[in-house]
Structure 1
Amino acid sequence: MKKIFLMFAVVIGFALNASAQTTPAAAPAPDPNKPEFKFNEEKHDFGKVPQGTPVTTVFTFVNTGVDPLILTEVKPTCGCTIADYTKTPVKKGATGKITITYNAAVAAPFSKTIVVTSNAKTPQKYLTIIGEVVAKAAAPSTR
């Protein structure tokens, strides 16, 4: 009786093991109609910036996809950077803008990243601004 019970347990074990080894489901095909952006540039160099003078640049993009492109969030990684962007859907072939303003308060080189989230094939894009904030020349003293 023990042998029959042991054989029955082994057969059940093999059956369960075989059923657990199913092939993974194929990944869904990418949607060919999804929107996508093409930026005029993804990195902007401000060069030397006088301390205390905010600087602004505009990243322009085109929707190269079929469906409308919707930016859901444009988030700088630093409080010293402000972003404004096209909030309406950007149709196929149309352009949108992301305006970035950097507050040049501290005299030092800088490199800041802006995370752009959307409904595009590439749902997150990273834009970068770089430069160097230089201290204003001190006023000559009158002694």
Structure 2
Amino acid sequence: MKKVILGLTALCLMAMTSCKDNAAAKIDETNVTAAAERDANASDFPVLEFDKTEHDFGEVIAKTPVETVFKYKNTGNAPLVITDIKSSCGCTVPQDWSREPLAPGESGEFTVKFNGSGANKVSKSITVTANTEKGTEVVKISAFVKADPTKS
């Protein structure tokens, strides 16, 4: 039994050391250059910078629609692609953003509509999914929703 284990160990060692000689010869310099360039570009991300990250509507009457515009700019070194914008509830609707890539230095915007749901102080978050380093960015809206005085 010891001879079989010793023989298998010797065979494995020979197989592993014989591969080392051929591995260096198989490296293609053009592949190394392409990989280095790809890795250098992989660290370039777009940066999504907003003109404001929070908007307060102040006092609104219940069920009264209000809206605001969030403006943003790509301050990074790669094209920015926004794939989705979602709110934390159905009473807040983000819309009108570009699905096209935004080059570095260019600006864009999206609208957020809020229908005045809830009561008292209300806060909602809007999550922007993009190809930034973090992958998501968050902006917020808030309002103080008052009851409609004509409906008692």
TM-score w.r.t. length of structure 2 = 0.68
CA distance in 1, matches of 2:151, 2:129: 45
Runs of 4+ aligned residues of structure 1 deviating over 6 Å after TM superposition are none
SS in 2 for 1:61: strand
Structure 2 match to 1:118? 130
Q: How does 1:1-143 map to 2 (within 5 A)?
A: 31-84=42-95, 85-138=97-150
In the alignment, structure 2 segments of 5+ residues that lack a partner are 1-38
CA distance in 1, matches of 2:78, 2:50: 17
Q: Deviations over 1:101-127 (max 9, x none)?
A: 111133332000111110012311111
**Deviation at 1:128?**
0.7
TM-score w.r.t. length of structure 1 = 0.72
**Deviation at 1:139?**
7.0
Change (3 A) 1:129 1:51: same
Contact 1:73/1:117, CA 8 A, preserved across alignment:
yes
Contact 1:36/1:122, CA 8 A, preserved across alignment:
no
Q: CA RMSD in A?
A: 2.8
SS in 2 for 1:33: coil
**What one-letter code is carried by the residue in structure 2 that aligns with 1:43?**
E
Segment of structure 1 superposing worse, 131-140 or 72-81: 131-140
The structure carrying a bigger helix percent of its residues is: 2
Change (3 A) 1:131 1:67: same
- % identical equivalent positions: 35
